[in-house]
Amino acid sequence: MAEPPKKLLILVVDRDNDIGRKANMKTPIIGFEENLKAAQALLLSDPEEADANAMFGALRVYRELVETYGEDHVEVATLAGEENEGIEADMKIMNELDEVLRKFKADGCIFISDGVTDQFVTPLITSKIPVVSIRRIVVRHSESVEQTWLVLGRYFKLLFTEPRYSKIFLGVPGIIMAIVGILYVINVASIPLMLSAIGIYFILRGFGVDQRIGGAIKNFMQVFRMPAYAQLRTFAAFTTFILFITGLYMGYVTTIGAVYAKYPNPPDPLTHTWWWLDKAPFLIGSFISGSVDLAAIALLITILANIVYYLFSRNPRIWGTIRGGVLLLWVWALLKRAGVILIVGATGGLEDPQVFLLAIIAILGVVTLTVTLIVTRMLRRMYSKYFRRRT
């Protein structure tokens, strides 16, 4: 037979102090007879009390171990916390455990649990004495029900007592209900409208839209803590977005205006689809001519801001960004000229001035990009010590 610990403590912990509130018993309770009297008093006060079952379970384990190891090697004790089961309860349990260990210097502990407070109590015990075994004493027909109600009770308690949760689950719905009630009384809003507003709130909250908006605002506020060149890059990105969207809108407005200017009474697109398809080059050219300028300026702002950012941060990506800027200017000129050709139409090959000009822009663009590539490669070698790739 394996050698037992020198002294073994059988421990019951009533974290919410039912034994003190219901049976008026002071803890810690040490010894078989004292624990038997306390368990009986607790059952008489509340026959459904789970802690009483745990105490009787501890007494049974005590008898079994006494028969094996003797009374000098085994002791049983019951500890209690506080009704609120918070930090005060845990501190009280720790103090009572210290008192028990002063009277009975145990080398190991058998924790008798009701199956509910293990996660809270076990770390407290193990900080003072090794836990040899954990025995759960739970009434068979009520274990799942008890645990379910315990979890639900804790969540409801958080909703009413924790400000962080009560503001969201009580405060915000309360404000909405109050506003809805006032609007309904003064006949400003109808019930369907009010239900829709409440539904929208729950949708935003359920899918975390409010958290994403809050995170975006928080990230935006971080911009003001960045270095100046990083702020420039961020503001340039915001400006690019605004200008690009505006450019698309200007392209749409220009296209609609050009259609009504050239065709005062255009047919319905749903019934005259082929007529509109025949005018597709004119529509595309009008859209390009109306939107390409703002769209190109928007992208050019981002490129220039990135050049400044890479210059101050000594990032070698500056050379690729410069080439990208030159490419953007070339594409801008090509699209601008292509839009004009699509609007007015081409009467021939290079004899047409618009087509000839488009070809010249294409050739000059290739030459300019080639020169830019050569110059940036030379500058990259010359300033290789300043622009170093970060690892």
C-alpha angle 200/202/207, rounded to 5°?
A: 100
The alpha carbon of residue 329 and the mean position of all alpha carbons in its chain are separated, in whole angstroms, by 41
pLDDT in tens, 82-105: 877 778 888 888 999 899 988 888
Q: Which helix (H) or strand (E) holds 195?
A: helix 191-206
pLDDT in tens, 144-177: 555 666 666 666 666 666 666 666 677 777 777 7
Residues 352, 357: Cα–Cα separation, whole Å: 9
| Mean of pLDDT values over 115-124 | 74
pLDDT in tens, 325-335: 999 999 998 98
| Mean of pLDDT values over 126-134 | 86
Q: Over 80: is that where the pLDDT of 111 sits?
A: yes
pLDDT in tens, 166-208: 666 777 777 777 877 787 777 766 667 777 777 777 777 777 7
Sheet holding 108-113, edge to edge: 29-30, 74-80, 8-14, 108-113, 131-136
Q: Which residue has the tokens 């094996």?
A: 68
Q: Over 70: is that where the pLDDT of 391 sits?
A: no
Residues 223, 364: Cα–Cα separation, whole Å: 40
The pLDDT, as a whole number, for residue 127 is: 86
Instruction: Please answer whether residues 300 and 325 qualify as being in contact, where contact means their C-beta atoms are separated by less than 8 angstroms.
Output: yes
| Mean of pLDDT values over 265-269 | 80
The pLDDT, as a whole number, for residue 159 is: 65
- pLDDT category, 312, cuts 50, 70, 90? confident
pLDDT in tens, 279-303: 888 888 889 888 899 999 999 999 9
Higher confidence at residue 45 or residue 118? 45
Is the N-terminal amide bond of 28 cis, ω within 30° of 0? yes
Q: Which helix (H) or strand (E) holds 136?
A: strand 131-136
Question: Is the full-model pTM beyond 0.85?
Answer: no
Burial state string for 59-83 with b = 16 or more CB within 10 A and e = fewer than 16: bebbeebbeeeeeebbbbbbbbbbe
